[in-house]
């Protein structure tokens, strides 16, 4: 996010430094410049909601649920569309005698985007923006499903640690604590799928929407692996007895997020997300190195298949 904002600001100065003659071809400041400011301002407000949503998810405030977030984006998109087509006018705008071709196309694009978002109010996946909007698990109402949090009614196991405020997408019956997942994996003789993730991880949401949702991948995650999603940015406080000082992070570990960030840094020497690790019940890596962002579904399947193959070999040799 910070890189995107800095790139957008720096790009303007870089372009005009390389092509200084372009500066002289620009029209004088006036209504057009105010229109640019309004358009960029509306876009910035929409993107700023993403950062507010990240904090909302990490602290579990429950302010920006998915449908609220999408509704605000729909309103902003309609305002942008009407403004570009001259139907809305602000105090510093000049009179718009005609609609230029660029404004017409941009206004049309804003309306198309708004209409694309609307089905998301009823639970449509919206894969194109899935990395930016809050996860579907925060939505209270999904069409063709009962209202309330999305859960699998067939699950009868005892309540799992952190499951009251964390969720795994796509109805995957997984864990949120490493030790608890490890014990379950040993009991059921299945390999572990460690998903180091985060509430603010854009690529994590995109991987879940575009790769995990593939039926072949989802089947393996649900049936062949014990999935444990370890949120490294969750702000929920740990009980006093579970807090400790992390030398590798140089900070006190006093939240759920820091607990699993410490685990990732200590065991795998990285704190990047997403980070997918396949472990045997002996806590050794089945496939090395682990992978991060991989939108190629076939390669992701190969990674999962190799993990299963290595786990089967270990089971045979034991």
For the chain, give the percent of residues with pLDDT over 70: 88
- List domains and CATH numbers for the chain: 24-138 (no CATH), 169-317 (3.40.30.10)
Question: Is there a contact between 255 and 219 (Cβ–Cβ < 8 Å)?
Answer: no
Token reading at 289: 């190195």
Question: Is there a contact between 249 and 262 (Cβ–Cβ < 8 Å)?
Answer: yes
**Dihedral (CA of 285, 275, 247, 60) sign:** negative
What per-residue confidence (pLDDT) applies to 146?
46
Question: Is there a contact between 222 and 80 (Cβ–Cβ < 8 Å)?
Answer: no
Among 173, 143, 172, 147, smallest CA distance to 160 is for 173
DSSP designation for 288: S
What per-residue confidence (pLDDT) applies to 20?
73
Q: Which run of H or of E encompasses 197?
A: strand 192-197
The residues facing 192 across adjacent strands are 226, 279
Low-confidence ranges of the chain (pLDDT < 50): 146-155
What per-residue confidence (pLDDT) applies to 90?
83
CA gap 140, 162 in Å, rounded:
20
What per-residue confidence (pLDDT) applies to 239?
95
């Amino acid at each position: 996010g910070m890189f995107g904002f800095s790139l957008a600001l720096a790009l303007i100065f870089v372009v005009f430094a390389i092509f200084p003659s372009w500066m002289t071809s620009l029209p004088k400041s006036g209504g057009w410049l105010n229109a640019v400011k309004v358009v960029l301002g509306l876009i910035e407000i929409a993107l700023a909601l993403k950062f507010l949503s990240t904090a909302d998810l990490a602290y579990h405030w429950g302010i920006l649920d998915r449908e609220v977030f999408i509704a605000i984006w729909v309103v902003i998109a309609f305002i942008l569309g009407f403004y570009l087509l001259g139907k809305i006018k602000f105090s510093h705008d000049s009179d718009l005698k005609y609609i230029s071709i660029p404004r017409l196309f941009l206004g049309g694009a804003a309306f198309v985007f708004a209409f694309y978002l609307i089905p998301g109010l009823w639970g449509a996946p919206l894969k194109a923006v899935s990395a930016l909007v809050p996860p579907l698990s925060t939505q209270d109402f999904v069409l063709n499903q009962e209202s309330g949090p999305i859960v699998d009614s067939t699950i009868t196991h005892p309540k799992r640690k952190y499951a009251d405020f964390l969720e795994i997408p796509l109805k995957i019956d997984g864990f949120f604590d490493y030790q608890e997942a490890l014990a379950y994996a040993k009991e059921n003789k299945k390999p572990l799928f460690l998903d180091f993730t985060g509430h603010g991880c854009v690529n994590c949401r995109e991987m879940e929407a575009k790769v995990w949702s593939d039926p072949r991948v989802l089947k393996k995650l649900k049936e062949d692996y014990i999935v444990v999603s370890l949120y490294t940015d969750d702000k929920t406080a740990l009980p006093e007895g579970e807090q400790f000082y992390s030398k590798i992070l140089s900070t006190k570990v006093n939240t759920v997020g820091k607990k699993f960030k410490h685990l990732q840094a200590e065991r795998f020497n990285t704190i990047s997300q997403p980070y997918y690790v396949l472990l045997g019940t002996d806590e050794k890596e089945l496939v090395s190195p682990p992978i991060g962002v991989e939108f190629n579904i076939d390669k992701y399947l190969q990674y999962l298949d190799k993990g299963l193959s290595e786990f089967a070999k270990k089971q045979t040799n034991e």
